[in-house]
């Protein structure tokens, strides 16, 4: 796999129907030309992802929403003005330039204008939409550095654009605007409160919501067993656990637990810092061979909702 910072080369790879991994402010994406079924098919093969699972189409800030969405309700325009570029994905009716393979055959499409300067430079140089899931193997923890991408996907990627560590650290917030009342499909890097200030209360995803792999109970999962508990339950969970046990919690919390019989993995005390460090922490703990990770759930406000969501999914039923 070639790796570097050459935007023009990356754009040429996309034009040739190849795969480019690139940084966004949330996590690294594995991108292909969103208007070409053959290019998009390579993403599913590289990730080992089921073909019916739709991808997010990334657009440059000056892209015309109407080219990529067939119907754009007024609320979508308002959200776009307020939150793009940024960690928000809107589900809308699929527009003419989106290849059917990119939506997994669905008549809706997820659209996002990322804020990362390297992602924007790539989208501008390429001139079209870039379909991109997170650049990890299906079901695994999302990559927040180029090293994570290289470790997960290696030679399956034609070019890896290295943009350093991602700033937000958890995936975008996904809001479905294709079915009338706005529905929160996935909490993420943009706080629910910020969105609700524009849309009004978001409904929770229910059984009629479109299936999304990021909403499977077991997803974003490391190899170690993850047990997500309230902070006050951490000492008890450690006492009950067997094997090599680690604790993932805000640094300040460890002061309350002197002599905890576990490997301490402190995270920043603020939820934004926690989100930024979370996936690298889970990967580090896996690499150090721990068997069990006891993770302290943050309060569900702001980015805490996304951090808690990912911890609970990491703690979901084990994959086979």
Cβ atoms of 253 and 296 closer than 8 Å: yes
Residues 188-217 that bind ligand TXA (CB under 6 A): 210, 212-214
Is residue 172 within the footprint of ligand TXA (CB under 6 A)? Answer: yes
CB of 305 to Mg ion, least distance (A): 18
Partner whose footprint covers residue 210, from Mg ion, ligand TXA, none (CB < 5 to 8 Å by kind): ligand TXA
The conformation of residue 103, written as its DSSP 8-state character, comes to: G
Residues 67-126 that bind ligand TXA (CB under 6 A): 87, 89, 91, 103, 106, 108-110, 112
Choice between 279 and 294, CB closer to ligand TXA: 279
Among residues 103, 134, 173, 178, which is the contact residue for Mg ion, using CB under 5 A? 134
Calculate the alpha carbon distances from 182 to 15, 69, 236 in Å.
Answer: 35, 16, 40
CB of 170 to Mg ion, least distance (A): 11
Choice between 108 and 199, CB closer to ligand TXA: 108
CB of 172 to ligand TXA, least distance (A): 3
The conformation of residue 225, written as its DSSP 8-state character, comes to: E
Beta bridge partners of 250: 267
Is residue 277 within the footprint of ligand TXA (CB under 6 A)? Answer: no
Helix (H, G, I), strand (E, B) or coil at 187: coil
Closest CA to 213 of 144, 136, 265, 151: 136
CB of 54 to ligand TXA, least distance (A): 3
Among residues 55, 118, 183, 190, which is the contact residue for ligand TXA, using CB under 6 A? 55
Cβ atoms of 141 and 220 closer than 8 Å: yes
Query: For 98, what's the count of Cα atoms within 13 Å in the CB-facing half-sphere?
Result: 31
CB of 90 to ligand TXA, least distance (A): 10
Cβ atoms of 42 and 93 closer than 8 Å: no
Is residue 268 within the footprint of ligand TXA (CB under 6 A)? Answer: no
For residue 8, give both structure tokens: 């023009």
Residues near Mg ion, by CB under 5 A: 134
């Amino acid at each position: 796999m070639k790796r570097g910072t050459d935007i023009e080369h990356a754009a040429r790879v996309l034009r040739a129907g190849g795969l480019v991994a690139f940084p966004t402010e949330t996590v690294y994406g594995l991108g292909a030309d969103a208007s070409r079924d053959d290019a998009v098919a390579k993403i599913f093969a590289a990730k080992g992802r089921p073909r019916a699972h739709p991808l997010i189409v990334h657009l440059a800030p000056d892209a015309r929403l109407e080219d990529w969405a067939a119907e754009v309700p007024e609320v979508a325009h308002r959200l776009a003005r307020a939150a793009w570029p940024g960690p928000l994905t809107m589900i809308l009716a699929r527009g003419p330039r989106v290849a059917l393979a990119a939506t997994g055959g669905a008549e809706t499409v997820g659209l996002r204008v990322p804020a990362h300067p390297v992602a924007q430079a790539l989208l501008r140089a390429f001139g079209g939409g870039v379909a991109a899931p997170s650049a990890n193997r299906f079901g695994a923890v999302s990559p927040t550095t180029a090293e994570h991408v290289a470790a997960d996907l290696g030679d399956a990627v034609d070019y890896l654009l290295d943009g350093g560590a991602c700033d937000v650290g958890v995936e975008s917030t996904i809001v479905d605007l294709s079915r009338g009342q706005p529905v929160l499909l996935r909490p993420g890097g943009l706080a629910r409160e910020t969105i609700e200030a524009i849309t009004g209360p978001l409904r929770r995803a229910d059984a009629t919501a479109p299936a999304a792999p990021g909403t499977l109970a077991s997803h974003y999962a490391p190899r170690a067993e993850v047990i997500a508990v309230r902070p006050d339950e951490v000492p008890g969970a450690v006492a009950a656990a067997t094997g090599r046990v680690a604790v993932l919690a805000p640094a300040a919390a460890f002061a309350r637990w002197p002599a905890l019989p576990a490997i301490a993995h402190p995270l920043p005390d603020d939820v934004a810092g926690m989100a930024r460090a979370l996936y690298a922490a889970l990967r580090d703990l896996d690499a150090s061979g721990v068997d069990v990770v006891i993770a302290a759930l943050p309060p569900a406000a702001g980015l805490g909702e996304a951090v808690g969501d990912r911890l609970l999914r990491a703690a979901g039923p084990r994959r086979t």
